[in-house]
């Protein structure tokens, strides 16, 4: 995963999690919404056969029937949906015919024509508590923060430091040859030796006399 991808993905997860936590916190203490299953009368607005043909031969590959219906919910708004039926059911229906519609009181767009479709009752939907949503959204925030940290601290290939053999093995410092003391000048004779030689010379001259 590249640096930019990690930053973008991390920012997205963090924002989604933070927004979810905000909504969950605001829902704490809010009045509970009454949720129940309702029934009302609806009207068939269209009835037709949906045929799928082969593009080359024109032979019918599949054929099923559908009808569109509308109904007015408890909130006064009109909702509609399409139901898929068999050929036998289609023969007993007509446009303008009344049918029974089941729907959710708090969400009328979740509905079905009774006897012609699958209806999921209100009790089949699991309602998560605000605390559980806060925990889940907090996990999103944590994952986003980890990706953001990884993205900002990630080094591209060009940013990697070049490591050479010298970084692992320290080169020993070259030892400078010890400076040899300057050789004493053989012509220079210490004073003590000069005095000693002078005494020998004086003694030799005295013996000659």
Return the domain boundaries, the chain. Answer: 3-30+129-153, 37-124
Residue 3, C-beta contacts closer than 8 angstroms, at least 6 positions apart: 151, 154, 156
Quick one: fold of 37-124? OB fold (Dihydrolipoamide Acetyltransferase, E2P) (2.40.50)
C-alpha distances (whole Å) from 180 to each of 56, 147, 176 are 105, 65, 12
Please, are residues 114 and 101 in contact by the beta-carbon 8 Å criterion? yes
Side-chain-facing half-sphere of 154: CA atoms under 13 Å:
15
Report the SS3 class of residue 163: coil
Please, are residues 130 and 24 in contact by the beta-carbon 8 Å criterion? yes
Distance of CA 13 to the CA centre of its chain: 6
Please, are residues 37 and 102 in contact by the beta-carbon 8 Å criterion? yes
pLDDT in tens, the chain (209 residues): 677 888 888 888 888 888 888 777 776 665 555 578 899 999 999 999 877 666 676 665 667 899 999 999 999 999 999 999 988 898 889 999 999 999 998 889 999 999 887 888 876 655 666 677 788 888 888 888 888 888 788 776 555 555 444 554 455 555 555 555 544 444 555 677 778 778 877 777 777 66
């Amino acid at each position: 995963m590249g640096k930019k991808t990690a930053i973008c993905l991390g920012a997205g997860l963090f924002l989604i999690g933070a927004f979810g936590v905000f909504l969950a916190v605001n829902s704490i203490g809010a009045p509970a919404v009454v949720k129940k299953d309702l029934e009302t009368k609806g009207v068939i607005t269209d009835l037709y056969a949906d045929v799928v043909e082969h593009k080359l031969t024109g032979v019918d590959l599949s054929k099923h029937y559908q009808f569109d219906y509308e109904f007015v919910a408890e909130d006064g708004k009109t909702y509609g949906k399409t139901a898929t039926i068999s050929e036998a059911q289609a023969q007993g229906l007509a446009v303008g015919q009344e049918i029974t519609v089941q729907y959710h009181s708090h969400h009328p767009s979740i509905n079905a024509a009774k006897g012609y479709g699958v209806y999921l009752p209100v009790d089949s939907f699991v309602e998560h508590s605000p605390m559980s949503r806060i925990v889940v959204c907090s996990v999103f925030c944590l994952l986003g923060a980890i990706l953001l940290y990884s993205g900002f601290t990630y080094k591209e290939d060009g940013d990697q430091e070049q490591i050479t053999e010298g970084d692992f093995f320290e080169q020993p410092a070259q030892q400078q040859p010890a400076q040899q003391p300057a050789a004493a000048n053989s012509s220079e004779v210490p004073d003590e030796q000069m005095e000693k030689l002078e005494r020998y010379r004086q003694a030799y001259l005295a013996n000659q006399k």
